Chains A and B, each alone.
Chain A
Amino acid sequence: MAQALLSTIDLTVGYRNGKRVAEVLKHLNLSLYAGELVCLLGANGIGKSTLLRTISGVQTALNGVVEVNGRDLTAYSSKELSKLVGIVYTDRTLAGALTVEELVSLGRQPYTGFFGRLDDDDHRVVADAIESVGMSHKTHDYVATLSDGERQKAMIARALAQETPIIILDEPTAFLDVASRIETMQLLRQLAQSQQKAILLSTHDVGLSLPLTDRLWLVTADSTVVEGTTEQLIADGTLNNLFPNRNVAFDSVVMDFRVKD
């Protein structure tokens, strides 16, 4: 197999507050490859966001190393990092009075000069990014007038315009209706394949992610993360233990959790 774009070596993530250390997820040895869509699955509040923040360089690791392109993440400048890892959050923004084009153009900031002026090449990248999320007809619309699903697509286009080999999305389907959720997942899978991006997203929506994801990063009850294909993780029972103390069990026929018999 090709070299991983991103890998973690005995990574421990969590928070350090003075002398107190709170380890959230421990001993992580994970990898992310170009052209694949990986879902980080786990219960709410188990540390998915902490892990995403750490491997995107926003938060420092408690222990271990994150490598991007075989080089320690902390060795990159923030400028270099902005061309390697693009992030999509579900944060509220003040971008309502920007057009979709202006919003997506912000993704070009790592490449533009002092005043952020776009050249022909930048304009082409922005137009392509908007086109590849299927929003070309809304190019000149204000972000405020978009539906939640469209807004999420625009934010994904912004990350695409950033031209990073890795895109990380924190709960991208959290506030969407079911149709938009499926569309977003399909879009991300198709982008991973057609543009050879490594796309990692966190979700707790098992039923939606299993049929569309290439591989899973599964947060287990003992505070670590197991990686593998859906089939592997069903076969070895890891998936069944996703919610260990809850009254649910994994049903491998419907590919989702249901109430325990």
Chain B
Amino acid sequence: MKATSHRSTITLIALSLLVVVLLPLNLVFGSIDIPFGEVVSAVFGGEVSKATWQTIVLETRLPMALTATLAGAALAVAGLLLQTTFDNPLAGPSILGVSTGSSLGVAIVMLAMGGVVSEAISSYLGILLGAIVGAAVVMLVLLFFSTIVKSTAMLLIIGIMVGYLTSSAISLLNFFSTQEGVHSFVIWGMGNFSGVTLDRLPLFAILILVSLLLSFTLVKPLNALLLGARYAENLGVSIKATRNKLLIISGILTAVVTAFCGPIGFLGLIVPHIARLALRSSNHTVLLPATALAGAVIALLCNLISVLPASWGVIPINAITPVIGVPIIIYIIVNRKKILYFN
């Protein structure tokens, strides 16, 4: 325990430091060159030589960096909860079709509005509601099948199939909708952290932070579930209630992020693995906070990469996450005999 807890402390501190370093870097770099000193004065309310610089830092880059931090943590934790619930390390919100469910909800709302995503509150609340309902429907389908299909691997495959069905419904919707509608949906579908403006940030942050806090109340049953449902039950854990809570929390986390940032792939799947490998532990007492922090780090990193082309524009997040995610997944699968938590 001594060695493990030592490593845990170091990992948690290192991840926190990375967040602290990457957040300001996300404010400094962007499509427009702003001198470092000017960024600092903009953030701390000092004199800024150009008014536009202040606007860019405070109203574009700051909310974008905070959104990336929260969204990364949210997707990573959602992934971890799903992996433990389904007793399968390859589960994740995008693989199980939860993100796709959210997408369908968003597609219906967006296309119904004819692609005119206005600044009105009703517009983005509609999108948020669509995403939550979409995620909930997929979760309910998964819950329903979980009462029939006992094998979690088979349940995972059902999730993937539901995802395909949902995608085909989205394609159909796109086929029948206006060009403007399709355009705004496609842009949204590429994923980006700039969709949360400063005035929407409080709602986004509260929804994510409350769900993350709720997930921390489930550390004890999550650890029991490492032994499998039968052992957890023998330890006095109510499997049904716990599973429902885990699915609801991971559903809300996924839906909120999807509504605001688009369906962002891979983060939910890979970050829990990065955290486990760094910690060398699956003890949720440390794994859950490490996963949240690592999620924030990876999302901030992706966001930083997305603005690298500077004046050329912004790379969609979903073009970056697979480049980071796929090698990690392949590494894990190839080395699974050597990786502790598979054995």
Contacts and interface: CB of A to CB of B under 8 A. Distances in A.
Interface of A: 56, 58, 78-79, 81-83, 85-87, 89, 91-99, 101-102, 106-107, 109-110, 112, 114-116, 139-140, 142, 144-145, 162
Interface in B301-343: 340-343
A115 B220 contact: yes
B280 interface: yes
* Most chain A beta-carbon neighbours within 10 Å: one of B3, B217, B235, B238: B235
Given A91-B230, A95-B227, A116-B219, A109 B235 contact: yes
B38 interface: no
B2 A92 contact: no
* Most chain A beta-carbon neighbours within 10 Å: one of B217, B283, B343: B343
B236 A81 contact: yes
Contacts of B236: 78-79, 81-83, 109-110
A96 B234 contact: no
30 contacts: A56-B234, A58-B233, A58-B234, A78-B236, A79-B236, A87-B230, A87-B234, A89-B231, A91-B227, A91-B228, A93-B228, A93-B231, A94-B226, A94-B228, A95-B226, A96-B343, A97-B281, A97-B282, A98-B283, A101-B1, A102-B1, A106-B226, A106-B231, A109-B220, A109-B223, A109-B236, A110-B235, A140-B1, A144-B340, A144-B341
B281 A140 contact: no
Contacts of A95: 226-227, 282
A230 to B, nearest CB: 29
A41 B342 CA distance: 33
B282 A99 contact: no
Contact of A140 (B2, B87, B238, B276): B2
Contact of B230 (A58, A79, A83, A85): A58
A96 B231 CA distance: 15
A98 B237 CA distance: 19
B340 A99 contact: no
A112 B285 CA distance: 14
Interface in B278-294: 280-283, 285
B234 A85 contact: yes
B267 interface: no
A81 B237 CA distance: 11
A56 B233 CA distance: 11
